[in-house]
Amino acid sequence: MRNTTVGLLVAAVLAAGGTTACDTSDDAGTKPSGGDVEKVSDTSGAAPVDELRFPGTTVTAALTGYDRDLRMVGFELVQLEPGEGNMEARYVDVPGDGPHRLPLAPDVKVFSAGSICPADTDTGLSIGADGRGNQPCTAEQLLAALDDGGLTAEIKVDAQDRIAEVAELYHP
């Protein structure tokens, strides 16, 4: 029945002067669940729509590096653990969450607290009242900082699952 319906739709499109690139076989790029959603190739650096993990979200993460071959930033989600007694608060991995990676958006905004690009201050730090870095930096400076080691940041992810903003989080 499905092939007959698809065949009639294709015939109607062609009769109306349209074109189609439809393959009615069961393995024609559909989701493994057998759904009728077609995967679409995208060369923008965004993840395929059915694989988006963090679209439109802001997360706190430990940035762990940059894979220049894949052009992806590696990170793990972290959360602030309050200090007890004389212990200061610190960022710890979110339990049960594994490593992730996302590409940078072409127009990524980067703000340093001091590790990505030092500020022109006596301390080299530039921090807002919320503990987020506010010294503007370039994407290249971020990648160089990731080559030197990791850093903790708040990252904003756009609708295409690309890192649109990185704000380094200050913690002494």
Span 114-129, pLDDT tens digits: 999 988 777 778 888 8
Task: Based on the fold, state whether residues 28 and 3 are members of the same structural domain.
Answer: yes
CA atoms within 13 A on the CB side of 106: 4
Task: Based on the fold, state whether residues 32 and 102 are members of the same structural domain.
Answer: no
Task: Based on the fold, state whether residues 88 and 7 are members of the same structural domain.
Answer: no
Task: Based on the fold, state whether residues 27 and 62 are members of the same structural domain.
Answer: no
The number of folded domains in the chain is 2
pLDDT in tens, 139-169: 999 999 999 989 999 999 999 999 999 999 9
Average pLDDT over residues 22-39: 36
Q: What is the pLDDT of residue 169?
A: 95
In a domain, 47, yes or no: no
Q: Which domain holds residue 69?
A: 53-168
Query: Is 169 strand, coil or helix?
Result: strand
In a domain, 46, yes or no: no
88 pLDDT band, cuts 50/70/90, is: confident
Task: Based on the fold, state whether residues 72 and 142 are members of the same structural domain.
Answer: yes
For residue 99, is pLDDT > 60?
A: yes
Task: Based on the fold, state whether residues 31 and 84 are members of the same structural domain.
Answer: no
pTM of the model: 0.69
In a domain, 87, yes or no: yes
For residue 100, is pLDDT > 60?
A: yes
Task: Based on the fold, state whether residues 63 and 24 are members of the same structural domain.
Answer: no
Task: Based on the fold, state whether residues 103 and 162 are members of the same structural domain.
Answer: yes
In a domain, 48, yes or no: no
Task: Based on the fold, state whether residues 22 and 101 are members of the same structural domain.
Answer: no
In a domain, 120, yes or no: yes
Burial class (CB in 10 A: 0-12, 13-18, 19+), 10: middle
Q: Which residue has the tokens 């704000």?
A: 167
Rounded distance between C-alpha atoms, residue 137 and residue 167, angstroms: 10
Q: What is the pLDDT of residue 155?
A: 98
* Longest Cα separation, the chain: 78
Task: Based on the fold, state whether residues 83 and 36 are members of the same structural domain.
Answer: no
Task: Based on the fold, state whether residues 31 and 75 are members of the same structural domain.
Answer: no
Task: Based on the fold, state whether residues 25 and 58 are members of the same structural domain.
Answer: no
